[in-house]
């Protein structure tokens, strides 16, 4: 076991932000936190990392646990001259070839010399993820890692996260609003709303009443109605990736989800 | 050679500029200008206390600055008042209290102007030893904590999560800042220490592509400002501190002038083929 929280809670500004959180993460598994805005997902993740102290309950982290963190929000202000490749070495040493490999894995090698303050939102997220992976962590915390990333990128990054946890055998704590991805690629799901509403395997959670009352009956409906075909992928520097002319079920899920969303809106 | 007061002033000033450069960068990156102001203005309290108890002035100022810095850090964690209002209030209060206390001590003769604006005549050999040994110690400590301190500057949460222990680095940084304030008081005076910290760093920003580069360039600009400023001070009989700050300011103004070939350029950027494709498609 990498870490565990036992009945843990955070008290701030005269209220409990989250309370009664019990969870654990094993090597090689993806645990996902889902829940509406303000439900305490980021707070729980910070507690797991030790950034926030638990005001009640117990936290346990394996000794010398090497964690990597992709925060939900990070501002690099203009006064900081910080290039992408320097940012990759923020909390660890790394050779240039290691940095290149990590940047290539999120398809942003062409940004290596750019300044952090000049990146677009999606580019920034890709840098954050590349940096987290570069550290070869035992425990990877991803707080909405693909926010603002384009459609194809989202699929590719989720696939990358899946690869990484197998390759490094690291535990992943993922926060995401993409319910379809969560349900298809994670091992355990924890549904939060200030406390743990329900948790378990994706199938169990999806069929539970708590999940339905939090996200609505139709959150996961409308599958396999329409399949989008796109036989190549564009890399971020504009070239076409010849190696990627294959389909993944993740991508299909995505287009299905979009279609389902549209359907739900029309209804 | 060190017998000449002017040489002593230059050597001391350069010593101060060498440590002020990198620390000033952190002051800018972390938006601590007000914090630095409060610290340096409270240095006058240190002077009063030193005269009262007949202690070494630089050492007493250093101790007082450390205490004030720690108090400020505690206060900022608790206070509901916005921190720049709080610091603005404390900075000037500390200065006022220091001046009033000094005025009460009628039995000591103090050259107030020297403390406020710096006094190149007042630099002794002992001061030089203090500046250079202290400066080397500060630089070594700064290099030791550079990585965690910089990581915490970019993101405190990220640094904590990834185990770089930023709290320790933050405390060391504050102590180093106090040390620089104590040693630079005689050269630029308490009113202008923050300027010596931030103006060379701000001037260095435009020419830098990495934090380490910015620290080095800030040192170079600081050294030239000291040299220019002190020479001017001697030539035109102006106070030392303001002259150095005016010299630094002229470097800053140079740095923001729109000179085309000074603009940091990205040589590694590729031309994106996708863009030209798209352009040709649009009618
Ligand atoms: N530093 C803080 N001080 C006081 N309250 C806070 C603080 N940080 C977060 N909160 C509150 O705690 C609650 C949970 O916040 P948290 O950021 O964990 O939500 P979240 O589930 O990550 O939401 P989102 O989906 O919008 O990212 C919110 O109601 C928020 O207002
Ligand atoms: Mg959040």
Residues of A in contact with B160 (CB under 8 A): 49-51
Length of chain A: 267
Nearest CA in chain B to A76: B154
Same domain (yes/no): A253, A194: no
- The answer to whether residue A234 scores a pLDDT higher than 70 is no
For chain A, list residues whose CB is within 8 angstroms of any CB belonging to chain B.
46, 49-51, 66-69, 71, 74, 76-77, 79-83, 86-87, 90-92, 110, 112-115, 135, 141, 234, 237-239
How far apart are the C-alpha atoms of A116 and A246, rounded to whole Å? 32
A118 lies in some domain: no
How far apart are the C-alpha atoms of B221 and B211, rounded to whole Å? 15
User: By the 8 A CB rule, do A250 and A233 touch?
Assistant: no
Any idea which of A19-23, A39-43, A230-234 has the lowest mean pLDDT?
Answer: A230-234
pLDDT of B80 reads 61
Does ligand 1 lie within 6 Å of residue A37's CB atom? yes
B263 touches chain A (CB under 8 A): no
Query: For the segment B252-267, what is each residue's pLDDT rounded down to a tens digit?
Result: 999 988 866 554 544 4
Same domain (yes/no): A217, A251: no
Band the pLDDT of A243: cuts 50, 70, 90.
low
- The answer to whether residue B276 scores a pLDDT higher than 50 is no
How far apart are the C-alpha atoms of A85 and B96, rounded to whole Å? 47
| Cβ within 8 Å, pair B274-A86 | no
Query: For the segment A92-102, what is each residue's pLDDT rounded down to a tens digit?
Result: 999 999 999 99
Token pair of A245, please?
């002319």
How far apart are the C-alpha atoms of A186 and A201, rounded to whole Å? 8
The pLDDT of B115-129, averaged and rounded, is 84
Does ligand 1 lie within 6 Å of residue A12's CB atom? yes
* DSSP reduced 3-state for A32: strand
- The answer to whether residue B280 scores a pLDDT higher than 50 is no
The pLDDT of A50-72, averaged and rounded, is 94
The pLDDT of A222-242, averaged and rounded, is 50
Task: Walk across the sheet containing A196-200 and list its strands.
Answer: A67-70, A139-143, A171-175, A30-34, A188-192, A196-200
The pLDDT of A223-248, averaged and rounded, is 50
B47 lies in some domain: yes
What are the residue ranges of helices labelled H in A21-93? 41-49, 84-87
Domain containing residue A139 = 3-75+135-221
Query: For the segment B136-154, what is each residue's pLDDT rounded down to a tens digit?
Result: 999 999 999 999 999 999 9
The pLDDT of A126-150, averaged and rounded, is 95
B279 lies in some domain: no
Q: Is B6 exposed, middle or buried (0-12, 13-18, 19+ CB in 10 A)?
A: middle
Give distance in angstroms: CA of A37 to centre of ligand 2. Answer: 7
What is the domain count for chain B?
1
Token pair of B111, please?
């050259």
CATH for B231: 1.10.3470.10
Q: A239 to chain B, minimum CA–CA distance in Å? A: 7
Query: For the segment B180-237, what is each residue's pLDDT rounded down to a tens digit?
Result: 988 888 888 888 889 999 999 999 999 999 999 999 999 999 999 999 999 998 899 8
Token pair of B61, please?
């100022």
Which of B112, B109, B138, B89 is closest to B191 using CA atoms?
Answer: B112
Same domain (yes/no): A29, A144: yes
Same domain (yes/no): A207, A254: no
Percent of chain B as helix, strand, coil, to the nearest 5: 80, 0, 20
Q: What integer best gives the mean pLDDT of chain A? A: 85
pTM: 0.84
The pLDDT of A28-44, averaged and rounded, is 94
What is the domain count for chain A?
2
pLDDT of B281 reads 38
Same domain (yes/no): A196, A249: no
Pairing mode, strands A196-200 and A3-12: unpaired
| Cβ within 8 Å, pair A80-B154 | yes
Band the pLDDT of B109: cuts 50, 70, 90.
confident
Rg of chain B over all Cα atoms, to the nearest angstrom: 21
B119 lies in some domain: yes
For residue A139, what is the enclosing H or E element? strand A139-143
User: Hey, whose CA ends up nearest to atom 25 of ligand 1?
Assistant: A37
Same domain (yes/no): A33, A58: yes
The pLDDT of A243-259, averaged and rounded, is 47
Same domain (yes/no): A181, A259: no
Give the domain-ending residue among A206, A221, A236. Answer: A221
Same domain (yes/no): A239, A199: no
User: Hey, whose CA ends up nearest to atom 8 of ligand 1?
Assistant: A43
Give distance in angstroms: CA of A43 to centre of ligand 1. Answer: 6
Query: For the segment B44-66, what is each residue's pLDDT rounded down to a tens digit?
Result: 889 888 988 888 888 899 999 99
Same domain (yes/no): A256, A217: no
Give distance in angstroms: CA of A38 to centre of ligand 1. Answer: 5
Rg of chain A over all Cα atoms, to the nearest angstrom: 19
How far apart are the C-alpha atoms of B17 and B185, rounded to whole Å? 12
Atom of ligand 1 nearest to the CA of A41: 21
* DSSP reduced 3-state for B53: helix
Query: For the segment B9-43, what is each residue's pLDDT rounded down to a tens digit?
Result: 899 999 999 999 999 999 999 988 888 888 888 88
How far apart are the C-alpha atoms of A7 and A18, rounded to whole Å? 10
Same domain (yes/no): A29, A60: yes
Which of A66, A85, A60 is closest to A5 using CA atoms?
Answer: A60
How far apart are the C-alpha atoms of B233 and B9, rounded to whole Å? 11
Which of A21, A22, A29, A37 is closest to A177 using CA atoms?
Answer: A37
Q: B21 to chain A, minimum CA–CA distance in Å? A: 15
How far apart are the C-alpha atoms of A107 and A236, rounded to whole Å? 6
Domain containing residue B215 = 5-260
- The answer to whether residue B283 scores a pLDDT higher than 50 is no
| Cβ within 8 Å, pair A83-B213 | no
A11 lies in some domain: yes
Band the pLDDT of A226: cuts 50, 70, 90.
very low
How far apart are the C-alpha atoms of B252 and B197, rounded to whole Å? 13
Same domain (yes/no): A30, A142: yes
A122 lies in some domain: no
Which has more pLDDT, A156 or B283? A156
pLDDT of A251 reads 45
Percentage of residues in chain A having pLDDT higher than 70:
82
The pLDDT of A122-127, averaged and rounded, is 96
């Amino acid at each position: 076991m990498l870490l565990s929280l036992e009945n843990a809670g955070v008290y701030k500004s005269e209220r409990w932000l989250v309370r009664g959180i019990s969870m654990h993460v094993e090597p090689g598994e993806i645990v996902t936190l889902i829940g509406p805005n303000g439900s305490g997902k980021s707070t729980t993740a910070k507690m797991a990392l030790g950034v926030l102290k638990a005001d009640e309950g117990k936290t346990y982290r394996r000794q010398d646990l090497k964690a990597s963190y992709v925060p939900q929000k990070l501002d690099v202000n203009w006064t900081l001259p910080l290039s992408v490749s320097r940012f990759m070495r923020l909390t660890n040493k790394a050779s240039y070839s290691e940095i290149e490999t990590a940047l290539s894995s999120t398809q942003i090698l062409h940004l290596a010399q750019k300044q952090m303050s000049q990146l677009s939102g999606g580019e920034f997220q890709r840098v954050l993820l590349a940096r987290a992976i570069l550290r070869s962590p035992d425990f990877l915390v991803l707080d909405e890692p693909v926010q603002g990333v384009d459609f194809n990128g989202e699929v590719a990054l989720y696939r990358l996260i899946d690869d990484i946890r197998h390759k490094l055998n690291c535990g992943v704590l993922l926060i995401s609003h993409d319910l379809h991805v969560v349900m298809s690629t994670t091992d355990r799901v924890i549904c939060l709303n200030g406390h743990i509403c329900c948790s378990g395997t994706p199938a169990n959670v999806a069929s539970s009443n708590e999940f339905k009352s939090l996200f609505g009956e139709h959150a996961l409906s409308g599958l396999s109605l329409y399949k989008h075909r796109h036989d190549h992928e564009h890399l971020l520097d504009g070239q076409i990736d010849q190696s990627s002319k294959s389909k993944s079920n993740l991508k299909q899920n995505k287009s299905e989800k979009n279609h389902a969303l549209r359907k739900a809106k029309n209804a | 050679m060190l017998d000449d007061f002017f040489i002593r002033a230059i050597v001391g000033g350069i010593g101060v500029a060498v440590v002020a450069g990198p620390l000033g960068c952190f002051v800018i990156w972390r938006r601590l200008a007000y914090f630095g102001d409060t610290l340096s203005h409270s240095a006058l309290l240190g002077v009063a206390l030193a005269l009262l108890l007949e202690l070494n002035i630089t050492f007493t100022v250093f101790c007082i600055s450390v205490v004030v810095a720690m108090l400020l850090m505690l206060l900022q964690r608790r206070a509901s008042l916005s921190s720049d209002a709080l610091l603005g209030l404390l900075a000037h209060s500390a200065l006022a209290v220091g001046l009033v206390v000094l005025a009460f001590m009628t039995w000591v003769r103090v050259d107030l102007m020297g403390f406020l604006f710096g006094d190149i005549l007042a630099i002794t050999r002992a001061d030089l030893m203090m500046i250079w040994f202290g400066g080397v110690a500060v630089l070594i400590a700064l290099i030791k904590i550079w990585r965690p301190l910089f990581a915490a500057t970019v993101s405190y949460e990220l640094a904590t999560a990834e185990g770089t222990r930023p709290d320790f680095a933050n405390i060391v940084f504050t102590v180093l800042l106090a040390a620089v304030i104590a040693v630079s008081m005689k050269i630029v005076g308490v009113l202008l220490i923050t300027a010596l910290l931030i103006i060379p760093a701000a001037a260095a920003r435009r020419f830098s592509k990495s934090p380490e580069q910015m620290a080095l360039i800030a040192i170079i600009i600081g050294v030239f400002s000291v040299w220019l400023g002190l020479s001017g001070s001697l030539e035109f009989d102006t106070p030392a501190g303001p002259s150095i700050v005016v010299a630094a300011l002229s470097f800053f103004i140079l740095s923001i002038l729109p000179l085309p070939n000074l603009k940091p350029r990205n040589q590694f950027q590729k031309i994106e083929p996708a863009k030209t494709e798209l352009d040709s498609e649009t009618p």
